[in-house]
């Protein structure tokens, strides 16, 4: 596994290498030892999978507030997605900046989104599936979200939005007095 730094502090891209032969391919998706630089002493406590049917659909931008903040390690295991992290960390030099990475099973990339960052993605290929590893349990009362189309963030989604949940349609733009998350 190769760990790549991004412009956002503690947001990483992890590249996995596939071993390919006549039978197909084998890839290591997670290795605690190899990812210790990224995960530190955090434990993976929950693994989730999502399937999104429509090309252009968006899931996000979601996060959990402290003390239930979580690091997410995200892979696309089928299809193709444009995966986005937004820095919401109070005092961060990249506060309210975003970083995006195309994830596919073939490119073997995983986006690591730390505590204090929002996460979301847009589906670039129908029936895309995502695998998420979480370092905290989902806590509904700690859930937060950003408007995917917030003009202050200006996320450059690659496709027109075709589908978004009712909850995410009603997310409010960030106000000027938003100070961020303390993690």
Q: Token pair of 137, please?
A: 């349990």
- Residue 183 included in any domain: no
Dihedral over Cα of 27, 33, 34, 35: its sign: positive
**Model's pTM, two decimal places?**
0.94
- Residue 130 included in any domain: yes
- Residue 178 included in any domain: no
- Residue 180 included in any domain: no
Please list, in sequence order, all residues whose beta carbon lies within 8 angstroms of the beta carbon of residue 57, skipping any fewer than 6 positions away: 122, 123, 161, 162, 163, 164
- Residue 106 included in any domain: yes
What tens digit of pLDDT does each residue of 96-132 get? 999 999 999 999 999 999 999 999 999 999 999 999 9
- Residue 64 included in any domain: yes
What total of structural domains would you count in the chain? 1
- Report the mean per-residue pLDDT for the chain: 95
Q: What one-character DSSP code corresponds to residue 146?
A: -
- Residue 175 included in any domain: no
Q: Per-residue confidence at 180, pLDDT binned at 50, 70, 90?
A: confident
154 or 17: which carries more pLDDT confidence? 154
What distance separates the 2 farthest-apart alpha carbons in the chain? 58
Please list, in sequence order, all residues whose beta carbon lies within 8 angstroms of the beta carbon of residue 179, skipping any fewer than 6 positions away: 90
Q: Is 158 exposed, middle or buried (0-12, 13-18, 19+ CB in 10 A)?
A: exposed
Q: Which of 121, 45, 135 is nearest to 79 (CA)?
A: 121
- Residue 174 included in any domain: no
Q: Which residue in this structure is represented by tokens 């995983």?
A: 110
- N-term to C-term CA, the chain: 27
For residue 87, what is the domain's CATH number? 2.60.120.10
Look up the domain containing 159 and give its range: 2-169
Looking at the annotation, which residues are catalytic? 62, 132
What tens digit of pLDDT does each residue of 6-22 get? 999 999 999 998 899 99
Helix (H, G, I), strand (E, B) or coil at 167: helix
Is the pLDDT reported for residue 146 higher than 90?
Answer: yes
């Amino acid at each position: 596994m190769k760990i790549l730094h991004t412009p956002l502090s503690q947001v990483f891209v992890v590249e996995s290498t596939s071993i390919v032969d006549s039978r197909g391919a084998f890839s290591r998706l997670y290795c605690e030892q190899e990812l210790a630089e990224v995960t530190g002493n955090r434990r993976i406590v929950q693994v989730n999978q999502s399937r999104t049917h429509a090309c252009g659909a968006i899931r996000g931008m979601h996060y959990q507030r402290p003390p239930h903040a979580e690091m997410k390690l995200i892979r696309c295991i089928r299809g193709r997605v444009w995966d986005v992290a937004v820095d919401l960390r109070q005092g961060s030099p990249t506060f309210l900046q975003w970083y995006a990475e195309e994830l596919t099973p073939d490119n073997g990339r995983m986006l690591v989104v730390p505590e204090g960052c929002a996460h979301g993605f847009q589906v670039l290929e129908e029936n895309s599936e995502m695998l998420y590893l979480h370092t905290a349990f989902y806590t509904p009362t700690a859930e937060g979200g950003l408007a995917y189309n917030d003009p202050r963030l200006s996320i450059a989604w690659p496709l027109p939005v075709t589908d978004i949940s009712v909850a995410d349609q009603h997310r409010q733009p960030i106000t000027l007095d938003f100070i961020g998350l303390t993690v």
